[in-house]
Amino acid sequence: MKFKKIISVFVLLLVVIACSTNPFTGKQTMALVPNSQLFPTAFQQYNQVLSESKVVTGTAQSEMIKRVGQRISVAAERWLNANGYQGYLKDYKWEYNLIDDKTVNAWCMPGGKIVFYTGILPIAQSETGVAAIMGHEVAHALANHGQQRMSADYIQQGVALAGNIAIQNDNDRAAFNQYYGIGSQVGVMLPFSRSHEAEADKIGLILMALAGYNPSEAAELWKRMEANSGGNAPPEILSTHPSNASRIQNIQSLVPMAVSEAKKFGVTSFKPITKF
Ligand SMILES: [Zn+2]
């Protein structure tokens, strides 16, 4: 009995200590695992995915993914620095890869490790569409949404997790992928909650606008994604990013905010939207 009490106090303490502020929303968020311990696991997992996949290199498309990724990460850095969060990205090691796979998906692992599948490019339609997806995925990673899912789950299970999430076997890998919404062949993905989706949409719009891409394209992109959900192979990305009419309306209503945010950083015009 006494032991149980000590454990629950310990868990509570850990939660209090592990709360940090989300720079984009000002809200307190849970992070049971510090970035310094989470990121090496993510990097190892990312390399594993790459080693098991057909990574596209040296093509116009793979170069475009890298270009958009760089512009989005520079935008994130500028925005964070201007808002008093210097050093927030210090443990990030950005990487942007295109994988030859018909799966309609893209994701960003903790620490800025990004994958696009070639299957999502026809729905992205243009570099601006890619930027909308990139901004949204990077936003999930910056706001640590995957980690919050994991933290909430562990607390529910009463597991006092002392920062160790080393991946030792396939089960651990599958669990990690579930929390972070990664991969295409590891079973059921956990959907992001509506509030996490709304946060990622808002942050994503700011990032793409700051990077010089027209944020109004984001709503069009998610409409195309929805339109593709009827067939035999609904976009994988919708299983982790549930979308609906009110979400798309919300994105549309936030476009003027993103445009004026970009203006503060001297961005007054956007790259023309040209289909591939
Ligand atoms: Zn999302």
Type and span of the H or E element at 107: strand 106-109
Q: Give yes or no for a contact between 43 and 111, defined as CB atoms under 8 angstroms apart.
A: yes
Amino acid in position 90: K
Residue 17: is its pLDDT beyond 60?
A: no
Residue 257: is its pLDDT beyond 70?
A: yes
Rounded distance from Cα 3 to ligand 1 centre (Å): 40
113 contacts: CB under 8 Å, gap ≥ 6: 42, 43, 46, 93, 94, 95
Rounded distance from Cα 225 to ligand 1 centre (Å): 12
pLDDT of residue 154: 65
- The pLDDT of 100-125, averaged and rounded, is 94
Rounded distance from Cα 182 to ligand 1 centre (Å): 12
| Selection from 211, 86, 55 nearest residue 138 by Cα | 211
Residue 254: is its pLDDT beyond 70?
A: yes
pLDDT of residue 240: 82
Rounded distance from Cα 79 to ligand 1 centre (Å): 20
118-168 pLDDT per residue, tens: 999 999 999 999 999 999 999 998 988 877 777 666 666 655 444 455 677
**Is 137 known to be catalytic?**
yes
Residue 106: is its pLDDT beyond 60?
A: yes
Full-model pTM: 0.87
Rounded distance from Cα 1 to ligand 1 centre (Å): 42
Rounded distance from Cα 128 to ligand 1 centre (Å): 17
182-222 pLDDT per residue, tens: 765 545 667 788 888 999 999 999 999 999 999 999 999 99
Q: How confident is the model at residue 245 (pLDDT cuts 50, 70, 90)?
A: confident
> What does the CA dihedral 93, 94, 98, 104 come to, rounded to 10 degrees?
100
pLDDT of residue 148: 74
Rounded distance from Cα 208 to ligand 1 centre (Å): 15
Name the catalytic one among 52, 77, 127, 137: 137
- The pLDDT of 220-234, averaged and rounded, is 81
Q: Give yes or no for a contact between 206 and 259, defined as CB atoms under 8 angstroms apart.
A: no
Q: How confident is the model at residue 1 (pLDDT cuts 50, 70, 90)?
A: very low
pLDDT of residue 162: 46
Amino acid in position 236: E
Joined together, the tokens standing for residue 212 give 């010089």
What's the mean pLDDT when you consider all of the chain? 84
Q: How confident is the model at residue 30 (pLDDT cuts 50, 70, 90)?
A: low
Rounded distance from Cα 145 to ligand 1 centre (Å): 9
Residue 260: is its pLDDT beyond 60?
A: yes
